[in-house]
Structure 1
């Protein structure tokens, strides 16, 4: 280790010892995360043993190793100062404030487009987004997401904003986009809700805005398009080679809906629809059903069953998610489905008998494009 690197490492560990979150963020580097200091501890050991709960959360967001042992042969969890810190190492349940993650609402019904030529629009949208990954360096795309998009979001708290910014800092420094999934699945921050709202609001018009950006920049196609951070986010998840092993074909996933009867009428057998946003689904039917509210007499409880057949459509993020037990599969924007069946089904939700609508949708074959 060079003198400069050693000095930076010392500054990082000093910030950890002092629970100085501001300077931890300034000095943290991938090579420092799991490094053992002269006293025989990692930064996570230090934070756990001293009861620095926010620092522990920060280090875990940076994928600090939970299994490395200190000089006494103990993991960070084993030296935790209190039960609150030990709980951070256990399976996390989604916060109640985020309980609609797997359930669409009336507003989200408007996030679907119904086109006769949906295949063509889907193809053109995907091709346009792919060009960003081919022409623009990843660091520039990530920086636009960070400073041009996330920085402008009005989060419910600075704590939530800091958490998402931490994931982007990690992603930029490591030039490895797994941190985007961490941001999307960060329960309680509201980030994925805002992201999907913004994707839905612009929809396919992003191509016009992107072309306008290109004109305003003097046709510099190696620069990230301005004001389209939400679509850049989607473009990376769809096209970056890092995610290729996580895409699945020929799978079935599940998502709930709680919508009015009037909105339900919009769903008709044989209709073709195209998503504008990410759809958070689970490949475990019981998990999706767990989130469907069944006590609202004004809303219809619905289970959507998606059959996905094309590559680069369904991203299995279970291994990358902050909440792996949810077995989440992301269906990406601009995916085209046909409604195959709509039926009434008697089932159990939370061990309570209830009657729900089941809508079966099948992805349209990309060979028809």
Structure 2
């Protein structure tokens, strides 16, 4: 599956020249996913990740775009914890241009995890259990479902990005529908 995902998300993917780093990350993720001692930590549901994005970074995110994470992603079951990582409550310290307009945005990603092999709820074994951490494995694909900007008084966050995990049937649909297949290399993201 990792080979299929890399081929789909990387326009210049060539199986003859395997990327050993990507293979290594895939093997490591497989150990975490399939180790019998960790099966009890598998998680499905909603998690949150806070981050600060520049205008340029934010412009890359579009509804319908598919993302393939290449690293372990630390998320939280608690929205307010993720908001802290996004800088909530510190809007005065965000970078601005000469007109005092924001050029950095407090961003909250909302991940909807559908496959029990995608994430591990590690809050109970974490050194910081209050973070209620959920670790999303590498080489998991997500599709952007919605982007809400300029939330104003309703939130401490500037931007919310909702992502839903792609499952195998989603990839079958990609093969059958030309609408879902990106038309150019610029329409793909590997993050």
Fold shared per TM-score above 0.5: yes
Write the deviation string for residues 294-329 of structure 1: whole angstroms up to 9, x where unpaired.
321231111110111112001100111111111000
Q: Which residue does the alignment assign to 1:261?
A: 55
Unaligned runs of 5+ in 2: 9-13, 96-102, 172-191
Unaligned runs of 5+ in 1: 1-116, 125-203, 211-224
**Aligned CA-pair RMSD:** 3.1
Which residue, 284, 289, 293 being the options, matches 2:78? 284
**Shift in Å at residue 357 of structure 1?**
0.5
**Shift in Å at residue 364 of structure 1?**
1.1
Q: Which has the higher contact order (CA 8 A, sep 6+)?
A: 2
User: Secondary structure, in 3 states, of the residue corresponding to 2:124?
Assistant: coil
**Shift in Å at residue 235 of structure 1?**
2.8
Task: Check whether the contact 1:247–1:312 (CA below 8 A) recurs between aligned residues.
Answer: yes
Q: What is the CA–CA distance in structure 1 between the aligned matches of 2:49 and 2:66, rounded to whole Å?
A: 18
> So what's the TM-score if we normalise by structure 1?
0.37
**Shift in Å at residue 366 of structure 1?**
2.5
Q: What is the CA–CA distance in structure 2 between the aligned matches of 1:324 and 1:342, rounded to whole Å?
A: 30
Which residue, 79, 94, 108 being the options, matches 1:303? 108
User: Secondary structure, in 3 states, of the residue corresponding to 1:254?
Assistant: strand
Give the helix-richer structure, 1 or 2.
1
Give the strand-richer structure, 1 or 2.
2
Q: What is the CA–CA distance in structure 1 between the aligned matches of 2:120 and 2:138, rounded to whole Å?
A: 11
Q: Which residue does the alignment assign to 1:140?
A: none
Task: Check whether the contact 2:51–2:85 (CA below 8 A) recurs between aligned residues.
Answer: no
User: Secondary structure, in 3 states, of the residue corresponding to 2:158?
Assistant: strand
Q: What is the CA–CA distance in structure 2 between the aligned matches of 1:343 and 1:119, rounded to whole Å?
A: 33
Q: Check if 1:245 corresponds to 2:40.
A: yes
Matches within 5 A, 1:1-369: 120-121=4-5, 208=18, 228=24, 232-249=27-44, 251-293=45-87, 294=91, 295-297=93-95, 298-344=103-149, 345-346=151-152, 354-369=156-171
Task: Check whether the contact 1:122–1:336 (CA below 8 A) recurs between aligned residues.
Answer: no
Task: Check whether the contact 1:119–1:368 (CA below 8 A) recurs between aligned residues.
Answer: no
Write the deviation string for residues 5-58 of structure 1: whole angstroms up to 9, x where unpaired.
xxxxxxxxxxxxxxxxxxxxxxxxxxxxxxxxxxxxxxxxxxxxxxxxxxxxxx
Which protein has the larger Cα radius of gyration, Structure 1 or Structure 2?
A: 1
User: Secondary structure, in 3 states, of the residue corresponding to 1:265?
Assistant: helix
Structure 1 pair 291–315 and aligned structure 2 pair: CA distance change class (3 A):
same
Aligned residues: 152
